Amino acid sequence: MSKQRAIFLDRDGVININRVDHVRTWQEFVFEEGSLKALARLGATDFRIFIITNQAAIGRGLVARETVEEIHARMIHEIERVGGRIDRVYYCPHKPEDNCDCRKPSPGMLWRGRDDFELDLAHSFLIGDWIDDVRAAQGAGVTPFLVQTGRGKRAVEEMRARGMNVPAVFENLDDAVTEILQGAYAQNSVRRMEKKET
């Protein structure tokens, strides 16, 4: 059985509007413009779809783990209503100073998805809005994309200021999904043509 490709999505700033004071209730969870449309499009593909998100508010005692899981359950319900799906949500509840192996920029959550679902990370993508997303993707051998929603514009500026290589940048999640799907379907078409010729 061949390994599956995946698309890993950061949550805050990619799927929903980022809040400096954290999303603490479902009422504070607001989908980014176009994100539901993008998730509906992904739902029709053979990609595995995951959310990987740092939720240090849990470790700081600002929100209960049960509340975060309730927010995720409601989020998935709304995504499924438009025809999308999320195969699993991985979240890190730790504070940066806890030095865990799951908090981005560590690739721990991506590796967990790989192990749980037998993923082909070399042909997978991560869409995020911050430098830590890029580093996590690179650490796992996944292709990173940045969006300009959330903290994305500041991430690009900081990466350039530090002399870091900036990955492909897109206006929002829907534009990033378009790029992935066009490339993925083109590759699949080439593979089908090669099989017919042999």
Active site residues: 10, 12
For the chain, the 3-state helix, strand and coil shares in percent, each to the nearest 5, are 45, 15, 35
Q: How many CA atoms lie within 13 A of 119 on its CB side?
A: 27
For residue 79, give Cα distances in angstroms to 35, 157, 169: 9, 31, 24
For residue 15, give Cα distances in angstroms to 51, 96, 141, 146, 189: 9, 22, 23, 13, 29
What tokens appear for 8 in the block? Answer: 């890993």
Q: Which residues contact 116 (CB under 8 A, 6 or more apart)?
A: 88
